[in-house]
Amino acid sequence: MRTGFGYDSHRLAHGRRLMLGGVEIPFERGLEGHSDADVLVHAIIDSIIGALGLGDIGSHFPDTDPAYKDADSMSLLREIVQKAGAVGYETSWVDATVVCEEPKLAPHMQAMCESLLSAGIRGVNVKAKTNEGMGFIGRGEGIAAFAVCTLTKTP
Ligand code: MG
């Protein structure tokens, strides 16, 4: 069995879609980034790469590579889950926390979990927290996400 941890943060900006866990969340701002900037999916990808001992998301999907411009992060997640499978690990569990002041994520939680499961993760739990008004998250400048995954060696 392997565990991995991932963290990511992105800045909120006008004129961008807000993608979290592969779900578009209605909000007046979205996350800035080279890809679709899905901070939750990026944290999960990094946790799986960490569990595999294969470095980090930047070494697999460099943000200097035009191929990943506006990339659908869910397709990168599917790729990493498949890569884990190819070396004999099932992505059996992911637990993640998104930290943002707004918008409220509770109404979208089920859709986000279903979306993440569709990438081949066997079980998932997503939590949402605010930062109690503190720091860059509290000021509404950005969103952060943390994720822990468990990979199980397939027989
Ligand atoms: Mg990122």
Ligand 1 centroid–CA 72 distance in Å is 12
**pLDDT tens-place string over residues 42-91:** 999 999 999 999 999 988 888 888 888 888 999 999 999 999 999 999 99
**pLDDT tens-place string over residues 101-118:** 999 999 999 999 999 999
Ligand 1 centroid–CA 37 distance in Å is 6
Q: Is this prediction's pTM over 0.95?
A: yes
Residue spans per domain, the chain: 2-153
Ligand 1 centroid–CA 58 distance in Å is 9
Closest by CA to 150, choosing from 105, 92, 96, is: 92
Gap between the Cα atoms of 143 and 151, Å rounded: 26
Ligand 1 centroid–CA 19 distance in Å is 11
Separation in Å, CA 18 to CA 60, 111, 147: 23, 14, 19
Tell which CATH classification among 3.40.50.460, 3.10.20.30, 3.30.1330.50, 3.90.1300.10 matches the domain 2-153.
Answer: 3.30.1330.50
What's the pLDDT score for residue 118? 98
Ligand 1 centroid–CA 122 distance in Å is 23
For 56-99, the DSSP string reads -HHHHS-TT-GGGTT--HHHHHHHHHHHHHHTTEEEEEEEEEEE
Ligand 1 centroid–CA 17 distance in Å is 14
